[in-house]
Structure formats: structure tokens, C-alpha cells
Structure 1
């Protein structure tokens, strides 16, 4: 079966900030540069790291998140992403065993790198930020090796090593616990990828700079890694034996015949999206057309619009300056045609964002702020919309430093219970449903909700262009 024999390696770390993305991107670039077809993956809901993986691999980066899609979909999605690939490289999330926290102290983090590595039967390469380590690294590694027998740590990459003597001491520590060193990367400020309030600056925003940055990372990481040894470890992966996920099979019961045009926002301001989304829209019978809200107008014949996540606050003035597109969207909304907006899309559809005029699809003011809102949400649809029926339940993810103040009563898109100061679940509502608009902060993985994608495409067909 497709993906069943694909060599696979998982790049993990003891903690966030250890250099996983740098090592993963460099490894992907090194493998691709040697002529191998690399299937890149990222554990968790992250949109930004897969963008750098895609630059390095010249192939879409995909996400594996048991929380968003369910554990049962991880292997099929992985198998689909491995189609025609020579090797798969999976970047982990946070620390190896970190995931969604549950009330059961005996349960490891749901959606952790460890859980996904075990599901894939893949060996783990542990990237260690060696800057603060010496001989005690042996004890740290011993803990990670022995903590969960379902997770196999195959070796170590020592990152941010300071000197030859430092490297010698660290190698001795690794030897004490029987772990081979697959690479040593010295401290180098040039390897840092620019970041901002939600993490790394997306590759799509940096364009030519991102390509140059990935090239520099690849050169430096290739020089420090034992790539053949990592490939040999990847070949020990048990592999998956399930049929691959297929957008055509997933959407077979939802296909329309009218080929409605669905315009999907792209470009520097709207870089967050899952690779499966346009694939599912296409499989449901839509014709997907990209447009850049910074420069373009709506494509001719647009029946429905998708505006995903990103950083509109970084581009608010330019978004406001594209008045022709804002008028196009306002007319689209006024006609009752479907719009699916997530996070950045919610902000863009509001009346004002940080003092700049936006689309005005509903009366609301958006503002960037210092407070990070982050986490998974078990949500229920509280209003019928072009995507969901009232009562539909999903797991989504919030990730933003902005707020939206609705200046009049609204029909919310979602409701859930969030912890309050007493520890009880306080009711929360999010987003808005208004006419054909469904807009909220919640990011939802499309593979988990094929019925919603089908409902949206049917609404697009009925709306016409």
C-alpha cells in the first residue's frame, strides 16, 4: 500500500526552542538536494513550520494532529502524504511527550510527538539544545529513552554546540546511554529564522528571503549531520499498513456537478491553511482559484470565498488600500453568497482592524493585543450556517493575539466551555454567522469535517457566481 514502506524519521526535542525546525528543514533540504523525494510533515496544528518544509522539499508540508483529526485518521493522512516519496521526515511539536493536557495524570499528552511516532512506528531523532548541557546530558537522555517503551529514540543531534571540547563532553554523555550522535550543529546566529508574536515569520511572507534562508540552513545543517546514518535509521520504521486517505473517496458523497468557483485567499497576509483543504474542495466539484487580498480582486465568477488564518495586523494598511477588493467582498456578502473565514479572515471581514478600514461584512472592531489565546477547543455549532448544522461538534484550535469586539447582537458560530478562575467550565461563544458568512477564531482541520466541506460547496453551487 502507498506509504507502507516509506522510510520515516521523526525529529523531536526535549523542549520547545531546541532547534527542531532548523534541523528538520536542513535535513529535508539535504535529502531533496541529493535527489530524493521527501514527504514533509509537522505534528500538531502549526501552519508556519510546514511552509519552510515545503520550500526545502518542493512539496506541500502536511500536518498530523490526533487532536484535530482523530487518532484514526493520522495513519491514512500520513500514507497519502507519502505518495511517490522516497523518505518521510516528521517534525515534532514542543517537547517529545508534550501534548494536550487531560484530567488523567496517567495519560501522556494527546497529540504529542511521542504518540504520533508510535502510531507511525517511526524512530525518533532527538535534537538537544546543548548550550546549557554538559555531562548531565546523559541523565536527560536516559530519561527520554526509558520513559515510554512505545517510543524508540534512535539517536541525537547536538545543536548549538560551543567548542570542540564541549562537543567531546557531550558525545561522551551520549555514549554513556548508548545513543549515537547523528550530527553536531555549532552555534550560529545566521541559522535563526526571523520570528514574531506567533512564532516564525511564514515562508510565504519572506518569499525570496525564505528560499535563501532555507538554502543557508540546508548548507550548514548538511555539513553537521550524518545524513546517511539518519536515512539508515529511517529505514527501520515499521511503516503504516492502512489505505491512504483520499480526498476523492472522502468527498464522494458530497460531490456537486456545477463546478462553482471558490476563491481562496493567499499571499503574505493569509498564509495559514491545511494542504487537504483545496484538495477536498476540488474533489467535491469546486474550481479553486487563489487570490491575494493585498493586490487582487475576486476571481471572475466567484461563488464562494475562503479566507484562512495569517497575519492581517502586519498588513492592515495594504489590505485597507485594496478598496476594489473590499467592495467586491462587501457585495459578495450582501448577496448572501458563502464565506468561510478563520481567525485572520474574521479580522479582515470586520469593520475596522487597528484603525484601518476592512471589509465591513459585520459590525465589529478588531485589535492586536499583548495577550496570547492558545489551545484546543471542543466546540459545538450554535447556529446553522453554510458549513455546519446547529449541534455539530468538532475539535478546533485557537492561536491569536487579537480580539474582536462585536458592536451589536450577533448569532455566534461556536460555543464551548472554557476554564475560569474556579476551575469550572465557563461558557464561551466565538465568531459570527450572518447570512452566508461563517467567521470565527477557530481553526478546524478539513479532513475531520468532510460533511462541512461538502455543505459549503453545495452552498457555493446554489449561490452561483
Structure 2
């Protein structure tokens, strides 16, 4: 199939009345089913979620990307979408929570409905029909009529019990004038195990994740009208005039470097020049939370980005000038991370040398003195532990201290999502001052280290990556 120009790529938003309705299964399954038919599918996720995009990437063979109107601003939703959709035949956008749920107290901001409107994309509503029949008409009618600017182009009925149940549901939805584009029967759920922060990431599940995505694709292909869904996506038309793909900037050509393997990770065998500083980015099963745009911005700023696995590699990549440790689940792998003493020492040596280190959430825990009583890197004089309390939500923050990421006074929006506590919660030079929903200081700025619970999206402030790479050059 000939790919569409990015500005007119066919697109659908998969939404639901509430969480737990089955939109992840439908969205991932639809991506897999369309990919299996030879289409190049661009996968997207509304909101800050890191885990679902991993399943989307497995379904499509392309990087899963987030569209978050709170973190990046509504004005970047279209450009970031177009950036991810380059060269694709169709895009599938999985929503977040219920269709009209967004940032608390901010109206429609960051809701699936807002993103659908910004993209001028038709919405497919996934309805859990397990405990209703004719009442589904009232539910669908309410969602269709709530905001006339949101175009609900069809419904997929999930957890349908029988032929008779399906007949009643179809009759009810027909009375609203919304087409039924799929029916998924009540069945044993596709195996997608969860734990304290949601689904277990793809990187931790190996072949089991592949099997789960394959099963989702088969389920959607069997129960949904794929031709009708593609036809609806094609009716989206072009994005608003003036929309152009986001770009991280020109990526410089790096000098040739012969590659060798260590601990399963390809590592250049020599240091690159100071003009192209090497930035090591933590990956592997313990550190799976990252936005693709971060590494793209680092590369565009002139860095050579090398991924390493703290569970396997015993030293940082040769010539590392800066270190980025994003989010993930170090609490699940605390014993293994602690046992890798050579790497912990390597990280500490780099940090104490004054080199730039950016650590978010999981990275913060890894830099602490200990995590659940197990020794970590000891870069920060703080202890981390698991907690029963879930900390979750968007944050409006301002940089309190000058750091490798931002100058004091820089305002950014972020997101917290963790069941851990760090004591103390802030150093002598805190990283962020939270402006909303509560006023407090949080995080650590020490030497070249910036460590915090706050997840940020650097596309909203490209100067973050440029500043970090420049510090790598000069430190």
C-alpha cells in the first residue's frame, strides 16, 4: 500500500467510557491485525504512560510514542503525531482512562477527547457490555452527545456473552445511529500480567509478550470489521492547516567507530571526540521508561547515545561523558542491581567526577545509598524503600537550582508515578519546586547530578537536551 503524506495519514483513536473497558487489548490487537495485513502502522498513546507503548511497538515494529497535551502542550500534539506517523499507512491512537477524563481540575486538558479533537481523528468507543443490554444505548448516546466536536465513528462491544446478547446490544446501539464495528466475546483474558504500577513491561516478558500481542491481534481480527475501521480512519482528512512534523533538529554525522560486544550490548571500542560526547542511557528490564524523543534530542544536540543494561553490564560504556537513567522498576530488581557492584562503582565514579547525570524516578532510586536495605550507587545520601501509597499525577514545577538540565527558574510540567519513598525527599539544593497540586520542593542537584521523581518530556523544552550535551562537552 502506498503510504500517505504524514499530514493526511488515516487515523483512529481507540477510547472507552472508563478504564478497564478493554481499550488496550483492542488498540494493541488492532495494531497487530493491521500490521499483519501489510500496513505500516504508527502507534500512539494518549498520556504519560510508558508501558502500553512497549506493547504497541511489539505489535507494529515501530517506536510507540506518547501524545500528552499536559506535558508538551496542546500545540505539540499534532507535530509529535506527524513525527511518529512519517511513512505510515495508518495510525492508531490508544486513549487514556475514560474518553473525557483528563488532568484533575483542568477541564478537558490531556484527555483523550482533547487529543482526538486536536488530531481531527474519529473515535472508536470500546464498551464493556458484560452487565447490560439495552442500557448500552443510553451510555453510547451520552458519550456521543456530550461534546459535539468529538466524532464517535463507531463502537466495539467487548465481553459479549452470547449470540442473543449480541443481538440485543446491536439493536440498542443501532437506535443511536452509531455503527457497531466489532464484537469481542467474553473469554479468558489475554495474558497480560500486572503489578503495582500496571502491566508488566514487554522488556521483562520476552516471548510471553509476543504471544500476548499475537493473541490480541487474532482476537481483534476475528471480531472486528477491519475494512470498516480502515475506512473510518481514512475519513479523518488532513490535520489543521499549518501543522508540520516535530523535529529534534539535524542529527550530526558521527565519526566511524568499530563496535564490539560486552554483556550483550554493542559498545564502540574507542572514545569519540569531545565534540560528540558519549551519553550512556540505562536500558534493560529494570529501566524501561523513556520517551523516544529524548534520545533523538540528545543525538540532534550532538551526542553519541549508547544504551547499556545495569543488570548485565559491569561498567559504563567506554568514554562515557554523561549519563541518563530514566524510569522503570529497580525495586523489582533491587537484588540484581545491588549485586552488580562493579557498575555501581562505575556510576558513582562518574557522578563524583562532576559529569552530567540525569536521573528520573527509577534513576533516583538507583543513585540512592540503598533501596529496601540493599546497597545502590551511593551517589545521593538518601535511602529509598517501597511504600503502600501510590503517588500519581501531573505536576507543575519550576527548577529551584541550576543544573545540567535546566537553569533555576525554568518552568516545566511533569508527572509522578511511583510506590516508593526517598528519605530525605530533597537535598540542600532541590531539583524542583512543585507549584501544583501542592507546594513542596523535591529532588537533588549535586555536582553534575539532577535526580528527581518527576518525569518530564523534553520535547516541551528542547533546551534541556542541548544544555545537557553542552555540559557533557565541558565537564
TM range (shorter): over 0.9
How far did residue 2 of structure 1 move?
4.4
1:308 corresponds to: 326
Q: Does the residue aligned with 1:132 lie in a helix, a strand or coil?
A: coil
Quick check: 1:455 aligned with 2:467? yes
Runs of 5+ consecutive residues of structure 2 not aligned to the other structure: 253-272
Contact kept, 8 Å, 1:2 with 1:79, in 2: the verdict is: no
Asked whether the equivalents of residues 427 and 444 of structure 2 are also in contact (C-alpha less than 8 Å), the reply is: no
1:420-459 equivalences under 5 Å are 426-459=438-471
- Who is 1:338 aligned against? 356
Partners of 1:122 and 1:239 within 8 A in 2: no
Matches within 5 A, 1:107-256: 108-240=107-239, 241=241, 242-248=243-249
Q: CA deviation at 1:239?
A: 2.6
- Aligned residue for 1:63, secondary structure, equals strand
Match of 2:45? 42
Q: Do structure 1's residue 21 and structure 2's residue 33 form an aligned pair?
A: no
Distance 2:73 2:453 in 1: 21
**In the aligned structure 2, how far is the partner of 1:190 from the partner of 1:24?**
15
Does the 8 Å CA contact 1:363/1:408 hold for their aligned counterparts?
no
Write the deviation string for residues 290-347 of structure 1: whole angstroms up to 9, x where unpaired. 0010011211110000000011101100000111100100100111111000000000
How far, CA to CA, are the matches of 2:426 and 2:70 in structure 1? Answer: 34
> 4+ residue runs of structure 1 moved beyond 3 angstroms?
none
Partner residue of 2:290 out of 273, 283, 288: 273
Q: Provide the C-alpha distance between the structure 2 equivalents of 1:331 and 1:61, rounded to a whole number of angstroms.
A: 34
**Aligned counterparts, 1:237-386, within 5 A:** 237-240=236-239, 241=241, 242-248=243-249, 258-296=275-313, 297-386=315-404
CA–CA separation in structure 1 for the residues paired with 2:419 and 2:426: 22
State the shift of 1:406 in Å. 2.3
Secondary structure, aligned partner of 2:7: coil
> Which one is further off, 173-182 or 239-248?
239-248
SS at match of 1:363: coil
User: Deviation at 1:410?
Assistant: 2.3
For 2:317 and 2:14, locate their aligned partners in 1 and report how far apart those are by CA, in whole Å.
40
Say if 2:425 and 2:443, in contact at 8 Å, map to a contact too. no
Q: Distance in 2 between matches of 1:17 and 1:408?
A: 36
Determine the structure 1 residue equivalent to 2:255: none
Could you tell me whether the CA contact under 8 Å between 1:2 and 1:243 is conserved in 2? no
DSSP-derived class of the 1:9 partner = strand
The structure 2 residue matched to 1:387, chosen from 405, 409, 412, is: 405
Pairwise CA RMSD: 1.6
Unaligned runs of 5+ in 1: 420-425
**1:221–1:121 distance in 2 versus 1, CA, 3 Å:** same
SS of the counterpart of 2:317?
coil
Corresponding residue for 1:423?
A: none
Check 1:277–1:409 CA distance in 2 against 1; reply closer, same or farther (3 A cut).
closer
Scaled by the length of structure 2, the TM-score of the pair is 0.92
Matched position secondary structure for 1:368: strand
Tell me the matched-pair count. 449
Following superposition, the deviation at residue 209 of structure 1 comes to 1.4
Residues 374/112 of structure 1: CA separation in 2 closer, same or farther (3 Å cut): same
Contact 1:101–1:109 (Cα < 8 Å) also in 2: no
Q: Give the secondary structure class of the aligned counterpart of 2:121.
A: coil
